[in-house]
């Protein structure tokens, strides 16, 4: 069992601590398996009445998944081991979404990608002054997976589309305003909250968090909701770019420039993903769709190139292929979203 995940029981709380500080607790496949094993064990335990997900040390809650591993898979084994990673990570996401006991996720720090996938299913999602929430996948040729299609598509207005395309970072106050967090608690109060959750009646969790919550500072994202809803109203990427380009305000020009640095392929994938997610009957159907997308996108040129440019070489000059939004046709997207052979489709645990 990996030491990158620490599990223990304190009082009646099962506690999962992410313990990979050198990588901001980014999830490896071993970490995914360790978390899954603990949750399955505690699901039938009469002693464990709730679950806490936290990080052991460092400034990140969870910065995402093991991107280097996924890129290596794309380059060396045709994406086979990468598909295994996605498959098992998505099973963990679904397990958390359907978990029969209350889960409390303390998003005290960077919460991106895979960190969103293990925090958003929780009944209680605690943001702090340290929270920095984002789904930045379009910048590396990926898409907002781990349930991102489900969560982002169900946010008010078009803010989910904005977050999916731009990868914008939101502070804890913004998470609370948008409903991505249920409580805003100063980090200095977290230890007390966790101790009380493990000892007081499990039906008191909301009340416990409420007593240590404070009013957050004003949210910057809330101040831009009118512009977001106006410019990101369409599900056509070209329409969004055109709307931003027609506005000579500073905000619109910044967001236009940001979008043009992203992968046209995965921006269009993300827009279709969010639209399709709203049609999904349940979370499992959404995750099956995201697995189909992941299975295709991981072996397309943009993923390996995006990771090279942003994480490996850090030149921030990816050469996207296709290079322009117009080159990403509906037929191109249809192939990415098409069903997999029956034996390869994703299924929950």
Positions marked catalytic: 65, 114, 137, 145
Orientation of helix 159-166 relative to helix 237-245, angle to 10°? 90
Instruction: Give dist(CA 145, CA 118) in Å, integer.
Output: 12
Q: Please check whether residue 177 is in contact with residue 222, taking contact to mean a CB–CB distance below 8 angstroms.
A: yes
Residues 11/198, Cβ–Cβ less than 8 Å: yes
Do 237 and 267 contact (CB within 8 A), yes or no?
yes
CA distances (Å), 327 to each of 209, 263, 265, 330, 332, in order?
A: 49, 12, 9, 9, 9
B/e letters for 298-307, b = 16+ CB within 10 Å, e = fewer, are bbbbbbbbbb
Region of 333 please: left (phi>0), alpha (psi -120 to 50) or beta: alpha
The position carrying tokens 């060396």 is: 76
Spatial distance between the Cα atoms of 6 and 328, rounded to a whole number of angstroms: 43
Distance of alpha carbon 293 from alpha carbon 95, whole angstroms: 20
């Amino acid at each position: 069992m990996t030491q990158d995940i620490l599990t223990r029981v304190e009082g009646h709380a099962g506690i999962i601590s992410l313990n990979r500080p050198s990588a901001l607790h980014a999830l490896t496949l071993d970490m995914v398996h360790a978390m899954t094993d603990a949750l399955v064990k505690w699901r039938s335990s009469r002693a464990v009445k709730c679950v806490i997900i936290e990080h052991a040390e460092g400034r990140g809650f969870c910065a995402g998944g093991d991107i280097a591993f996924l890129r290596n898979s794309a380059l060396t084994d045709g994406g086979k081991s990468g598909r295994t990673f996605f498959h098992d990570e998505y099973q963990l996401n679904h397990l958390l979404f359907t978990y029969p006991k209350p889960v409390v996720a303390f998003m005290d720090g960077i919460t991106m990608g895979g960190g969103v996938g293990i925090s958003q299913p929780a009944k209680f999602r605690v943001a702090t002054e340290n929270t920095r929430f984002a789904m930045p996948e379009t910048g590396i040729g990926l898409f907002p997976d781990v349930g991102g299609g489900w969560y982002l598509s169900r946010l008010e207005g078009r803010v989910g589309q904005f977050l999916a395309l731009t990868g914008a970072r939101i502070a804890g106050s913004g998470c609370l305003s948008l409903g991505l967090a249920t409580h805003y608690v100063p980090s200095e109060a977290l230890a007390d909250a966790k101790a009380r959750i493990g000892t007081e009646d499990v039906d008191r969790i909301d009340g416990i968090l409420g007593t240590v919550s404070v009013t957050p500072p004003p949210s910057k994202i809330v101040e831009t909701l009118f512009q977001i809803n106006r410019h990101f109203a369409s599900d056509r990427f070209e329409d969004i770019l055109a709307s931003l380009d027609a506005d000579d305000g500073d905000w619109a020009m910044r967001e236009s420039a940001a979008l043009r640095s992203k992968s046209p392929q995965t921006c269009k994938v993300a827009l279709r993903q969010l639209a399709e997610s709203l049609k999904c009957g349940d979370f499992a159907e959404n995750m099956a769709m995201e697995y189909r997308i992941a299975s295709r996108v991981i072996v397309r040129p943009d993923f390996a190139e995006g990771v090279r440019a942003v994480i490996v070489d850090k030149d921030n000059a990816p050469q996207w292929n296709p290079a322009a939004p117009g080159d990403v046709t509906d037929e191109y997207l249809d192939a990415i979203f098409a069903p997999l052979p029956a034996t390869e489709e994703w299924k929950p645990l």
